[in-house]
Structure formats: structure tokens, C-alpha cells
């Protein structure tokens, strides 16, 4: 699927020294240069700063990596960012995470593969991604008791970063580039139109 044909802003040619570094990093990470990079290239400052924040987020380690992935994907699913869901599914494979569970995140409420803690983390991510945020004291207290303060702060920050990324992608019309398909992963689980797991 060609994001350039779907995005609301035309892709620019990625050039120069910084462009070469971006392309090299993308090829190393995902095997190719995503079409969406050309869209973000229209404002290189935004792209550079977003990538910098993303690298810093990936350096946080108070929250279990599986929980971090489930939270990011639950947030992306709530917002409707197909690019974020696809990319995180693909990245989870590269990081050795539980692919059966990652695949099920879009329908986590109906899936039997998640533990109560995993469900609570995704509920938190979903609630924090609402407008306005709908995190309750009860949910926060339960997660604080199970995760500890540093991990709960990280969870909130990871969800906030995913909200920034996902909302920007959706607003710009950046959609899935089928990274998961390219490496033979089964499609992400989806929900049917009537809300049942499919």
C-alpha cells in the first residue's frame, strides 16, 4: 500500500546528509524506507524532534516491554492509527515479544490470551487516550499497587507519546504500510462491525 497516494500532504524527496541518515536508519530497522518519511520530511524539525523523543521513550525500562507494547497498541487502536498498530506489531516481532498476544491487542477485551494485569494496562491506555482522558482513581490505584510508581509514570508517558504520534499520523492521513505482512506475520486481529471479535 502506498502511503504517498493516501496521505493528505504530498511526500517530499528525502535528501541531504540528514536524509541519508534517516534512510539508513529506516532500512536497518525495518528493511526499507517507509513512504510516510516523505510526508514528515516536509517539516524536518518536527520529524527530527519526534524521532528524538521516540528514541528516548525506547530507552525507558521501568515498565515491562510486553506491557509497554500492549499499552502503545491499545492506545493506537483507540485513536485509529493503522500505521502505529502495524509498526508496533512488526517491532514486537523484532524485539522477541509474544506475537500471539500482540496480534490480539486490537480485540483485547474479547481475547482470552491476556492476564488481568495486561488487561488493566490496556484499559488504562484506552482510558488515557479518550478525549477527555477517562482514567479513574480506582484503575490508577490498582496499577500503582501492581506496577509501582516509576512504571505507572512510564505507562502514562508512553501512552501520551503514542497519542501524539497516532493523532499526528491520522490527521496527516498516514496509514499502515504493511510492515507485518512483509515479514509473514498473520494479520492483526480485528473487531467485526457489530463489536464481536473476528
pLDDT on residue 137: 98
Q: Global pTM? A: 0.87
Q: How far is 152 from 143, CA to CA, in rounded Å?
A: 7
Chain centroid offset of residue 97 CA: 14
- % of the chain exceeding 70 in pLDDT: 90
Cα–Cα distance between 20 and 74 in angstroms, integer?
Answer: 33
What pLDDT, on a 0 to 100 scale, did the predictor assign at position 2?
A: 42
Q: How many other CB atoms sit within 10 Å of the CB of residue 102? A: 26
End-to-end CA distance of the chain: 23
Domains, the chain: 3-182 (1.20.1290.10)
Question: What is the predicted pLDDT for the residue at 197?
Answer: 40
E-strand ranges in the chain read: none
pLDDT-based confidence at residue 64 (cuts at 50, 70, 90): very high
The string of pLDDT tens digits covering residues 150-190 is 999 999 999 999 999 999 999 999 999 887 776 667 667 77
Q: What is the mean pLDDT of the chain?
A: 89
What's the full length of the chain, in residues?
A: 198
CB atoms under 10 Å from CB of 71, counted, come to 27
Cα 112 off chain centre by: 22
CA 119 centroid distance within chain: 17
Tell me what the mean pLDDT of segment 80-94 comes to. 88
C-beta separation of 63 from 158 below 8 A = yes
Kindly report, residue by residue over 21-63, the tens digit of the pLDDT.
999 998 988 888 998 999 999 999 999 999 999 999 999 999 9
Torsion 151-156-159-161 (CA) sign: negative
What pLDDT was estimated at residue 195? 46
144 closest CA partner among 116, 120, 108 = 120
Q: Residue range 138-146: average pLDDT?
A: 98
Amino acid at each position: 500500500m502506498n502511503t504517498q497516494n493516501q496521505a493528505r500532504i504530498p511526500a517530499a524527496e528525502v535528501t541531504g546528509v540528514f536524509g541519508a541518515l534517516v534512510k539508513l536508519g529506516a532500512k536497518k530497522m525495518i528493511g526499507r524506507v517507509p513512504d510516510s518519511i516523505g510526508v514528515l520530511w516536509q517539516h524536518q524539525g518536527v520529524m527530527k524532534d519526534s524521532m528524538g523523543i521516540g528514541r528516548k521513550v525506547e530507552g525507558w525500562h521501568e515498565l515491562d516491554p510486553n506491557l509497554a507494547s500492549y499499552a502503545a497498541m491499545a492506545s493506537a487502536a483507540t485513536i485509529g492509527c493503522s500505521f502505529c498498530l502495524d509498526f508496533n506489531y512488526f517491532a514486537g516481532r523484532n524485539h522477541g515479544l509474544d506475537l500471539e498476544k500482540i496480534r490480539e491487542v486490537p480485540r483485547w477485551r474479547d481475547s482470552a490470551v491476556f492476564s488481568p494485569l495486561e488487561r488493566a494496562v490496556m484499559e488504562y491506555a484506552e482510558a488515557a487516550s479518550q478525549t477527555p482522558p477517562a482514567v479513574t482513581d480506582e484503575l490508577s490505584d490498582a496499577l500503582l499497587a501492581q506496577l509501582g510508581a516509576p512504571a505507572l509514570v512510564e505507562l502514562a508517558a508512553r501512552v501520551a507519546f503514542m497519542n501524539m504520534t497516532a493523532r499526528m499520523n491520522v490527521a496527516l492521513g498516514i496509514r499502515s504500510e504493511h510492515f507485518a505482512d512483509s515479514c509473514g506475520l498473520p494479520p492483526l486481529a480485528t473487531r467485526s462491525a457489530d463489536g464481536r471479535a473476528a
